[in-house]
């Protein structure tokens, strides 16, 4: 009986260890490793079933300034708020991950028509969050959105690199409009 309980305990510890290796500790989202593991599988399925997909690369705006002026605890709260907003903005079947620092990535299958509708959905959710929350910061995100077409044979790395490039263009555009 004790041996059976020991085996159960070890199996549970193994499951928990595997889960921790794929999860971001601060946000509870997938981490980089978890994202790549899950998204690679979804990309293969999308290719075989000829389904459109989207990769969104997101960077939080102003995290360094918040960390410098309000402290790292508030910066961590901003990261957690962003993670929750992203999780609520997409379906459970979509893959939402924190790559590290203030960078997030999302892999979604087919239900959006175009990148503008994805961005509009996120901007609406961000605006609602900022209106409803009583925080001493505003949540702001720069994002790049790249579409995967099954015939393109783009790799996940290429999709992320392209969406990252588009995110930086979005960030520059936002900074120019402030200046």
- Active-site residue set: 102
Q: What is the end-to-end Cα distance of the chain in Å, rounded?
A: 70
* CA 99 centroid distance within chain: 7
Give the span between the Cα atoms of 106 and 55, in whole angstroms.
Answer: 6
Query: 42 Cβ partners below 8 Å, 6+ apart?
Result: 53, 95, 107, 109
Strand partners, 54: 108, 147
Kindly state the tokens that stand for 100: 């590290």
Write the DSSP string, 9-21.
HHHHHHHHHHHHH
């Amino acid at each position: 009986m004790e041996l059976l309980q020991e085996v159960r305990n070890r199996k549970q510890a193994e499951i928990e260890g595997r889960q921790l290796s794929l999860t971001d500790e601060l946000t509870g989202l997938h981490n980089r490793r978890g994202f790549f593991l899950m998204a690679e599988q979804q990309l293969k399925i999308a290719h075989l079933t000829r389904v459109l997909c989207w990769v969104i690369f997101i960077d939080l705006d102003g995290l360094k300034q918040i960390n410098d002026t309000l402290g790292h605890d508030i910066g961590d709260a901003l990261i957690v708020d962003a993670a929750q907003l992203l999780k609520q903005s997409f379906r459970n079947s979509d893959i939402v991950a924190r790559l590290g620092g203030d960078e997030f990535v999302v892999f979604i299958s087919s239900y959006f028509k175009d990148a503008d509708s994805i961005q509009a959905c996120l901007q609406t959710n961000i605006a609602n969050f900022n209106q409803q929350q009583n925080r001493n910061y505003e949540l702001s995100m720069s994002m790049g959105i790249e579409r995967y077409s099954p015939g393109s044979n783009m790799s996940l790395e290429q999709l992320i690199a392209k969406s990252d490039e588009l995110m930086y263009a979005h960030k520059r555009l936002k900074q120019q409009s402030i200046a």
